[in-house]
Amino acid sequence: MSSDLISSFLLPPSSFIRHSSFVIRHFPFFPVLLALETSCDETAASVCSLDGRILSSRLFSQIEIHRQYGGVVPEVASRNHITKVRPLVEAVLAESGIALPDVAAFAATCGPGLVSSLLIGTSIAKALAVAEKKPFLAINHMEAHLLSPFVELGKVEPGLGLIVSGGHTLLVRISGVGDYEILGRTRDDAAGEALDKTARMLGLPYPGGPEIEKMARNGDPAAYDFPRSRLADSPFDFSFSGLKTSVLYELPKLDLTNPQVLANVCASVQEAVVSVLVDKAANAARHFGLKTIAVSGGVSCNKRLRESLASRCQKDGLRLLLAPPSLCTDNAGMVAFAAAQRFATGMTSPLEQEVDPNWRIDALP
């Protein structure tokens, strides 16, 4: 962003909040952007200052709606996005004391994700940008996850990103905002996907990751020796499908009505996933000479993963940045923060930019 543009946002405040019959000038006035996240089954909106402070972040979780189907139903997700976006936008504007004309830019997740879901947030953000004559920013969902551990720092620093979400498991070299290199990826299931599928086999509800964590609390992580795929030919890639298959073969031998058996299986599955994630991240940091590990994505809510990463990083002399749990699972705060970082580099997106269900983090403009 040019310095002229920055200073134009710092001109005397034009933000007013209507309160009863009075019009109150709202101080201090921060230049802000508004971001929407509708890539899957969370409808979310956030207002963030252009220097990266999240002023308001709200979401409507559709988990209860999709639970009855055992997973996300795309058409149901997009229908719910349509009805929930507007109240969320109004709520985050009200909470941050910002009037729509004072929003400097509008951002939305444009991929990866479900096309029918991505289209809702993107179309609304573009429409707001056109109506308010402000720029639009297309944000990559994985970039938003990747940068979420930096929200507390308020800036992005070089390091190794570990993204563990429902659809992706990625090791990413972060050289700066928008400068990312994929160092490792899953060859089959993502970590979250493996946990969700395994939980389903065990008769646990969707989403499976938090259910496995809950059951694992009373279990023995060494009860079952589930596979930890090492992939000698590409040591920083992941494979979690063998774990799922191994649980499937074990199933006929298991009495899942016995709570201790279920707890032991869950603790052993969780341990297999956590140990692979921690080992590969720490080994990649050492191999590529990166001193910071920034961990993000829904699976990084998992306490066992957070504790295990913390002790390994302490042992290896690495700095660990963990996104707070509210920024781990899908939310718009992380999208707004990423948009603020991108806007500060001068990026805006053409209105013609289409949603991309497979948008790669290493193919960003």
Contact 200, 208 (CB under 8 A): yes
Rounded to the nearest whole angstrom, what is the least distance from the CB of residue 309 to Zn ion in the complex?
19
Among ligand KG4, Zn ion, none, what does residue 143 contact (CB within 5–8 Å per kind)? none
- Determine, following the binding rule CB under 6 A, whether residue 96 of this chain makes contact with ligand KG4: no
- Of the pair 199, 318, the CB lying nearest ligand KG4 is at 199
Rounded to the nearest whole angstrom, what is the least distance from the CB of residue 111 to Zn ion in the complex?
11
CA 39 to chain centre: 10
Q: Is 20 exposed, middle or buried (0-12, 13-18, 19+ CB in 10 A)?
A: exposed
- Determine, following the binding rule CB under 6 A, whether residue 165 of this chain makes contact with ligand KG4: yes
- Of the pair 140, 329, the CB lying nearest ligand KG4 is at 329
Number of H helices, E strands in the chain: 11, 12
Among ligand KG4, Zn ion, none, what does residue 167 contact (CB within 5–8 Å per kind)? ligand KG4
| From 37, 143, 189, 196, residue interacting with ligand KG4 (rule: CB under 6 A) | 196
- Determine, following the binding rule CB under 6 A, whether residue 239 of this chain makes contact with ligand KG4: no
Give 168's contacts (C-beta < 8 A, 6+ positions apart).
112, 142, 185, 186, 190, 297
- Of the pair 150, 224, the CB lying nearest Zn ion is at 150
Q: Candidates 188-196, 241-249, 277-285, 310-318: pick the segment binding ligand KG4 (CB under 6 A).
A: 188-196
Rounded to the nearest whole angstrom, what is the least distance from the CB of residue 26 to ligand KG4 in the complex?
33
Contact 110, 116 (CB under 8 A): no
Rounded to the nearest whole angstrom, what is the least distance from the CB of residue 65 to ligand KG4 in the complex?
16
- Of the pair 161, 208, the CB lying nearest ligand KG4 is at 208
Report the largest interatomic distance among the alpha carbons of the chain, rounded to a whole angstrom: 71
What's phi and psi for 129, nearest 5 deg?
Answer: -60, -40
Antiparallel, parallel or unpaired: β 319-322 and 292-296: parallel
Question: What value, to the nearest 5°, has the Cα angle with vertex 106 and ends 341 and 5?
Answer: 60
Among ligand KG4, Zn ion, none, what does residue 329 contact (CB within 5–8 Å per kind)? ligand KG4
- Determine, following the binding rule CB under 6 A, whether residue 140 of this chain makes contact with ligand KG4: no
Tokens 């086999």 found at: 201
- Distance between CA atoms of residues 330 and 115, nearest Å: 16
- Of the pair 40, 93, the CB lying nearest ligand KG4 is at 40
Contact 181, 175 (CB under 8 A): yes
Rounded to the nearest whole angstrom, what is the least distance from the CB of residue 222 to Zn ion in the complex?
31
Contact 180, 173 (CB under 8 A): yes
| From 166, 184, 219, 333, residue interacting with ligand KG4 (rule: CB under 6 A) | 166
- Of the pair 102, 330, the CB lying nearest ligand KG4 is at 330
Exposure string over 214-228, b if 16+ CB within 10 A, otherwise e: ebbeebebebbebbb
Rounded to the nearest whole angstrom, what is the least distance from the CB of residue 196 to ligand KG4 in the complex?
5
- Determine, following the binding rule CB under 6 A, whether residue 302 of this chain makes contact with ligand KG4: yes
- Distance between CA atoms of residues 31 and 307, nearest Å: 37
**Applying CB under 5 A, which residues contact Zn ion?**
165, 330
Tokens 């979250």 found at: 192
- Determine, following the binding rule CB under 6 A, whether residue 210 of this chain makes contact with ligand KG4: yes
Q: Candidates 4-12, 27-35, 285-293, 299-307: pick the segment binding ligand KG4 (CB under 6 A).
A: 299-307
Question: Where would I find the H helices in 148-295?
Answer: 191-201, 208-216, 241-250, 259-288
DSSP code, position 204: P
Among Zn ion, ligand KG4, none, what does residue 97 contact (CB within 5–8 Å per kind)? none
**Interface residues toward ligand KG4, by CB under 6 A:** 165-167, 192, 195-196, 207-210, 213, 297-299, 301-302, 329-330
